[in-house]
Amino acid sequence: MDFDLMAEALPKILDGLPVTMALAATSLFAGFFLAVGIALMRLSSFRPVSAFAYGFVYVFRGTPLLVQIFLIYYGTGQFEVVRESFLWPVLREAWWCAILALTLNTGAYTSEIIRGGILSVPFGQVEAAKACGMNALMRFRRIVFPQAIRQALPAYGNEIILMIKSTSLASTITLLEMTGIARKMISQTYKPLEIFLVAAVFYLTLVFVVTRLVAFIEHRLNPDRRDAVRSAKGKDMTTVAAVGSDVR
């Protein structure tokens, strides 16, 4: 094990962290809004709209993300109509192609997570909101969406972790994020074990931070669970105290 090489690789791979974070944050931000729209389309009673949303989700969940990146980066340039359109300055750049592929992919997966959260909201609460005179937008904003997000947050946390790891695929189209820098160093040193170990430590650290952050948000968004935990702890302490007094 070459520890000197690992120490040398540490700051170099760290230089790719901002690119990794920017890829993940941008695609997750844009993909979330896309997912909300697709989820609402999937729940629409208008058949063509729901069919389009179903097809979108089926395609992007049913094909590998790497293939999607290659199709967008290498495939779109083969069409003359694309090269002559206003989209070409964007689609010829590896950065924007990676963002587009990651956004579409996470949008498809997240839409199913949000759709499940929306369907988990009790129908009686929606009917009660109607009885109070709320229109559809107000019902969604005040009743449905907040509860759907609380239900979907654990699964969405997994999606965030998957997207952070998926940014490593952007290295296949010349982007120098953490994995891209690691691959470049390996091509120069021919020592993949040490360098990939350093990259893995960075990814593990990112995942740990995200996991703790999602757990904190989930804890804050579920006051009933916090009260239940506190109540259970109080009962346990009372039981321990009672047992102790009996023993004495």
Per CATH, domain 18-175 is 1.10.3720.10: yes
The pLDDT value recorded for residue 127 is: 85
**pTM score:** 0.86
Question: Comparing C-alpha atoms, which of 93, 105, 106 is closest to residue 173?
Answer: 93
Here the contacts of 199-202 (C-beta below 8 Å, separation 24 or greater) are: 199/13, 202/13, 202/14, 202/17, 202/178
Q: What is the mean pLDDT of each run of 10 residues along the chain (248 residues)?
A: 87 93 95 95 92 95 94 89 86 92 96 92 86 85 87 92 94 91 91 92 94 90 64 59 54
| H helix count then E strand count, the chain | 13, 0
* Side chain identity at residue 45, one-letter code: S
Instruction: Please report, for the chain, the start and end positions of each structural domain, with discontinuous segments joined by +.
Output: 1-16+176-248, 18-175
